[in-house]
Amino acid sequence: MENLLANSPEARTSPVAPLNGAAPVLRLTNIEKVYQTKTIETVALNQVTLTINRGEFVSIMGPSGCGKSTLLSLMGLLDEPTSGTIEVDGRPVTAYTDKELANLRNLKIGFVFQSYHLINDLSVVDNVEVPLLYRKGMSGKERRQRALQALDKVGLSARTAHFPGQLSGGQRQRVAIARALAGGPEIILADEPTGNLDSVMGEEIMDLLLDLNRRDGVTVVMVTHDEQQALKTERVIRFFDGSQVS
Amino acid sequence: MLRSYLKIAWKVLMRRKFFTFISLFGVSFTLMILLVVMAIFDHAVGAAAPLKRIDRMLFVNTIRHQMTDGHGWMSQPASVHFVDDYVRKLKTPEKVGVTTVSANATAFTKSKLLPLDMAYTDGNFWQIMDYDFLGGRAFTGAEVAQAQHVCVINEATARAYFGTTDVVGRTIEIDLKRYRVAGVVRNVSAAQIYAYADVWVPYTLSPQYIKDTRLSGEFLVVLLAPSAADVPAVSAEYQQMMRQIPIPQPKEVKAIYSYADPIVPGFTRAFLGNEPSLQNDQLTKFYALVGGLALLFMLLPVLNLVNLNVTRILERSGEIGVRKAFGAAGADLVGQFLVENLVLALVGGLLGLGLAAGALAIVNEAHPIAYAHFALSWSVFGWGMVLTLVFGLMSGVYPAWKMSRLNPVAALRGAGEQK
């Protein structure tokens, strides 16, 4: 995939200079997302332009329905904008097929969701292995090893054989973070990761994300409602009615 | 990856036991019926004693006379003249044997009347077939030529008439004629029509053993090719021979047709052929018909399973969304779902095999056909597995494709919205 990206025409024609000395890992330019039904047209995002630099911890804040989650889906290459460009590592992603986008997600991005989205039928360690299942050529042994390392990092080494139903909310979110980490992504996209947790567990998860960002240099983009948590991050981007207000 | 798919497939099956039961019931019940039909078919035409060399055998069932002036046609088995003067002179067959469809005969024991099925054969017949002798031997070509009153009887007749199977050399009276027992064979199923009878006697004793110039008589001809690969050559030489036979009574008969066929084409030509010459053996039509019926039969449970699977996908939209978010391409999801469905089909297939074995045991108990013992052979088992695979794929492909098309954002929200 790296080679594929390096050889793409966009790679040659769209060199992107680092912003403020840091390399932009994600860049969104004039993004518009419109949901259209027969009778109503809803503008979820309106002319959004923003850059996420490598190693940053960015919070996205705003009231419900302001387009935060839509933005995160676009950043995570799960959805396509109605107009505008998304660049990953300086290369526009519009030219890629579904399969190539899947591969890009697998290599570069880790997701953490508010409601964890663990697969209840799989054990903790099997859940963490999910992203690695789609890595071409990775052996079962290596998958297991990397999953265990990720679980160790989130402090859940003792719970590998448990099932999601046997864990507390905080523990489930740790498993979700381990899953996001297992593939060694450059960016973690967290959609209200503490939204379903009490304040103590929420703090724990927040500390874990901060730690990953500071110690391991993982870029984190987090959608949150919690002003206190947002203030702990390097940059806060605020949204209102689909537009960036700060 | 496969291990993970299998693990989740098992969990999914166990999670909704009622759903699994309904699915499995549909799969296994359908497969059971197909397997029972196949076992019966295999029993009738498969390679089993005495038709162990079935792959080398060809059969001549009838000679068809097409009449002039649109008087239709007449199909009858061969005469002695036809067999001796034409068929026995063929170069390619290793052996040419003669038998008849078994006809009713009666023997009397001390206390009761014993109805029997009797067939007339020559000496070669016993060398082509592979009967399991409990005692004695078959009658020889020389005994047949001398029209000696000898016979071979099956085990059931020996027990019913003599009370034992150790009866070689003793005499049995059938239709007021006395025969010396040359050998006793294990019972042969009535479904194996070329080999079945209770009593076999030399064909020279048949009332139809008439040496004249008619082509029609009552004899079925069995040809043994030197190897399975030589079967087409035997069939071709037989055709060559047919072209050279002068038409008897040309005023009444327009043409004559006859074919030497392996067992299945022999039946399909007779039952499915619609042109006067029966030139096409209709084997392709037969397999297409049977395959079509089997598919049609499987269609209902398949559609049921497709419907349940599609509904089920909506339940699992969260999982699908997660997998897509973490890099699963459409093909990965199709693969996963097909594996899950194949696991279900495989379990259903194995259950179907078990049910089929049970059903066959009940059928065997009821003795619908004399001496028939239907069983699941390896070939039936193999076909069962093939059917299972077809079943799994048929019911899995569409839902898998639909699943792979789910929009990940909508899937993660729990809605089953399509892309």
Helix ranges (DSSP H) in B193-282: 231-244, 263-272
Chain B partners within 8 Å of A122 (Cβ): 4, 7-8, 11
Q: How many CB atoms lie within 10 A of CB B54?
A: 20
Q: Identify the DSSP state of B146.
A: T
**Candidates B320, B322, B404, partner chain A, best to mutate (most A CBs within 10 A):** B322
Q: Identify the DSSP state of B229.
A: G
- Over the stretch A133-154, which tens digit does the pLDDT of each residue have? 999 889 889 999 999 999 998 8
Nearest Cβ partner for A78 among B1, B318, B409: B409
B298, two tokens: 């499987």
Domain A2-244 has CATH 3.40.50.300: yes
By CB atoms closer than 10 A (0-12, 13-18, 19+), residue B338 is buried
Q: What angle do CA B43, B47, B51 make, to 5 degrees?
A: 95
Answer whether residue B237 shows pLDDT above 60: yes
Q: Do A131 and B327 touch (CB under 8 A)?
A: yes
A189, two tokens: 């996209």
Q: Which residues fall within 8 angstroms of residue B258, CB to CB, at 6 or more apart?
A: B60, B62, B63, B64, B78, B238, B242
Closest CA relative to residue B116, chosen from B63, B32, B71, B177: B177
- Over the stretch A71-115, which tens digit does the pLDDT of each residue have? 999 999 999 899 999 998 888 888 788 888 899 999 999 999 988
Task: Return the pLDDT at A20.
Answer: 46
Rounded mean pLDDT, B239-249: 92
Nearest Cβ partner for B329 among A98, A140, A179: A98
User: Which position has the token pair 């402090």?
Assistant: A155
Q: How many CB atoms lie within 10 A of CB A31?
A: 25
Task: Return the pLDDT at A19.
Answer: 42
B178, two tokens: 């006395």
Nearest Cβ partner for B1 among A110, A121, A133: A133
Rounded mean pLDDT, B322-337: 90
Q: Which residues fall within 8 angstroms of residue A165, CB to CB, at 6 or more apart?
A: A120
The alpha carbon of residue A21 is apart from the nearest alpha carbon of chain B, in Å, by: 30
Pick the residue with more confidence: B80 or B339? B80
DSSP string covering A52-92: EETT-EEEEE--TTSSHHHHHHHHTTSS--SEEEEEETTEE
Rounded mean pLDDT, A26-54: 91
Q: Which residue of A has its CA nearest to B331?
A: A99
The alpha carbon of residue A140 is apart from the nearest alpha carbon of chain B, in Å, by: 8
Can you give the pTM of this predicted structure?
0.70
**pLDDT bracket for residue A22 (50, 70, 90):** low
Q: Which residue of A has its CA nearest to B324?
A: A102
**Candidates B1, B20, B326, partner chain A, best to mutate (most A CBs within 10 A):** B326
Backbone angles phi, psi at A200, to 5 degrees: -65, -50
Q: Is B4 on the interface with A (CB under 8 A)?
A: yes
**pLDDT bracket for residue B414 (50, 70, 90):** low
**pLDDT bracket for residue A15 (50, 70, 90):** very low
**Candidates A121, A143, A181, partner chain B, best to mutate (most B CBs within 10 A):** A121
Average pLDDT, chain B: 89
Q: Do B327 and A102 touch (CB under 8 A)?
A: yes
Rounded mean pLDDT, B254-279: 89
Rounded mean pLDDT, A12-31: 64
Q: Identify the DSSP state of B92.
A: S
- Over the stretch B218-227, which tens digit does the pLDDT of each residue have? 999 999 999 9
Task: Return the pLDDT at B295.
Answer: 84
Range with lowest mean pLDDT among B130-134, B182-186, B299-303, B355-359: B299-303
Answer whether residue A172 shows pLDDT above 80: yes
**pLDDT bracket for residue A185 (50, 70, 90):** very high
The alpha carbon of residue B411 is apart from the nearest alpha carbon of chain A, in Å, by: 11
Task: Return the pLDDT at A12.
Answer: 33
Task: Return the pLDDT at A197.
Answer: 84
Domain boundaries, chain A: 2-244
Closest CA relative to residue B209, chosen from B98, B70, B76: B98
